[in-house]
Structure 1
Amino acid sequence: MLIRKLFKFESAHIVRGCSSRLCSRSLHGHSYKIEVLLEAHALDNGQMVYDFGLLKGDVRDLIDAFDHAVTFWDGDDADYIASCQRFSERWISLPVSPSAEQFSRVIFCLVDGLLQLTEMVNGEQDVRLHSVIAHETDTGYAQCFREDAYNPRMVAFELGQIVFAERIRQEWGDPQLFQRLLDGHARRNPQQV
């Protein structure tokens, strides 16, 4: 069975190397919709695949980090990167271009990492991330599956190459959230009542 949780954020980027001059040469923004799809072949104590409320903590914080942020590729022009960091307190440096395709991969890897480090205590069984869909516009989206997320032919990267601005990290419920993920520190889900 699949369940879907929808997240939304506003973000700006430039996508270098694409065919559209508007997108490759001009900073512009989108109203993103991110769909996180989880799957399991059994239900938990509440007869759910996974309690939607459990996605309102760390997962939401990491996805919300992109809200009102400038997202740039760390291989972009150094002056452009410096300007993004100078004029916006909310920025994210990615080791890949911030295209819809790469947004779906990056978010897949972030959420997948969190789920793998989550101690399930509500009878959840074999819950895993099925896919992430990144809607960049009303008519266009990219969907990342596990085989895409870790495919080096789609540009290999490590989570440790992502850099979140200090302001973003301060706004998380746990300012050490990303470091905890990188260090592989597990977190226990709250029990259902």
Structure 2
Amino acid sequence: MLIRKLFKFENAHIVRGCSTRRCSHSIHGHSYKVELLLEAHALDDGQMVYDFGLLKGYVSDLIDAFDHAVTLWSGDEPDYVSAMRRHTERWVLIPVSPSAEQFSRLFFRLVDTTLSLTAMCNGEDGVRLHSIIVHETETGYAQCFREDADNLRMGHIDLNAIEFAQAITKKWHDPHLFERLKHGQRLPVPIEGPV
């Protein structure tokens, strides 16, 4: 069985090397929608695949990190990256270009790692991330499946190569969340927060 949870955020980026000059040479923004599709072949004690409320903690914090932020590619022009980090309070530095395709892969890695490290507490059985859909516009989206997330032909997404601005992490339920993910530390049952 599949369940779906939708998240939304506003984000700015430049996608270097793409065909459209407006996108490759000008910072611009989108109203993103991110769909998480979780699967399991059994139900928990509440007769659910996974309680949506459990996604309001760690997963919500990670996706919300991109809201009203600029996403920077570490391979971009160093002067641009440095200026944006200096003049923007909310930024995320990632090891791949911030296209919808790479966002879907990035979120897959972040959410999949979070779910694999999060304690299950209500009889959940075999819950795993099926796919992630990132809608960049009303008419265009990218969908990442497990085999895409670690496909080296699409670029390597190493969690250690991702950096969140301090203005972002200090607002999380657990300001050390990302360090815990990078080190593979088990996470307690998530704390609910607004979504």
| TM score, norm. by length of structure 1 | 0.97
Shift of 1:188: 2.8
Shift of 1:189: 2.0
| Aligned-partner SS, 2:170 | helix
Q: Report the AA paired with residue 87 of structure 1.
A: H
Distance in 2 (CA, whole Å) between partners of 1:160 and 1:63 is 17
Structure 1, 128-137 or 152-161: larger mean CA deviation: 152-161
After TM superposition, the structure 1 = structure 2 runs for residues 130-149 of structure 1, keeping only pairs within 5 Å, are 130-149=130-149
Q: Report the AA paired with residue 82 of structure 2.
A: A
Q: Report the AA paired with residue 121 of structure 2.
A: V
User: Could you report, residue by residue, the CA deviation over 1:147-193 in whole angstroms, capped at 9, with x for unpaired residues?
Assistant: 000111111121110000111111111100100111111123269xx
Distance in 1 (CA, whole Å) between partners of 2:151 and 2:174 is 30
Q: Please say if residues 117 and 187 of structure 1, whose CA atoms lie closer than 8 Å, have aligned partners that are also in contact.
A: yes
| Aligned-partner SS, 1:167 | helix
- The match for 1:150 is 150
| Aligned-partner SS, 2:7 | strand
* Residue 14 (1) aligns with residue 8 (2): no
- The match for 1:39 is 39
Q: Please say if residues 65 and 168 of structure 1, whose CA atoms lie closer than 8 Å, have aligned partners that are also in contact.
A: yes
Q: CA RMSD in A?
A: 1.1
Q: Report the AA paired with residue 166 of structure 1.
A: Q
* Residue 189 (1) aligns with residue 189 (2): yes
Q: Report the AA paired with residue 70 of structure 1.
A: V
Q: Identity rate of aligned residues, in percent?
A: 68
Q: Report the AA paired with residue 178 of structure 1.
A: F
Distance in 2 (CA, whole Å) between partners of 1:188 and 1:63 is 19
User: Could you report, residue by residue, the CA deviation over 1:127-152 in whole angstroms, capped at 9, with x for unpaired residues?
Assistant: 00000000000000000000000111
After TM superposition, the structure 1 = structure 2 runs for residues 49-88 of structure 1, keeping only pairs within 5 Å, are 49-88=49-88
Q: Please say if residues 121 and 190 of structure 1, whose CA atoms lie closer than 8 Å, have aligned partners that are also in contact.
A: no
Q: Report the AA paired with residue 164 of structure 1.
A: F
- Paired residue total: 191
Structure 1, 179-188 or 129-138: larger mean CA deviation: 179-188
- Structure 1 unaligned segments of length 5 or more: list them: none
Distance in 2 (CA, whole Å) between partners of 1:128 and 1:84 is 36
- The match for 1:118 is 118
Q: Please say if residues 39 and 49 of structure 2, whose CA atoms lie closer than 8 Å, have aligned partners that are also in contact.
A: yes
| TM score, norm. by length of structure 2 | 0.96
Distance in 1 (CA, whole Å) between partners of 2:169 and 2:59 is 14
| Aligned-partner SS, 1:171 | coil
| Aligned-partner SS, 1:50 | coil
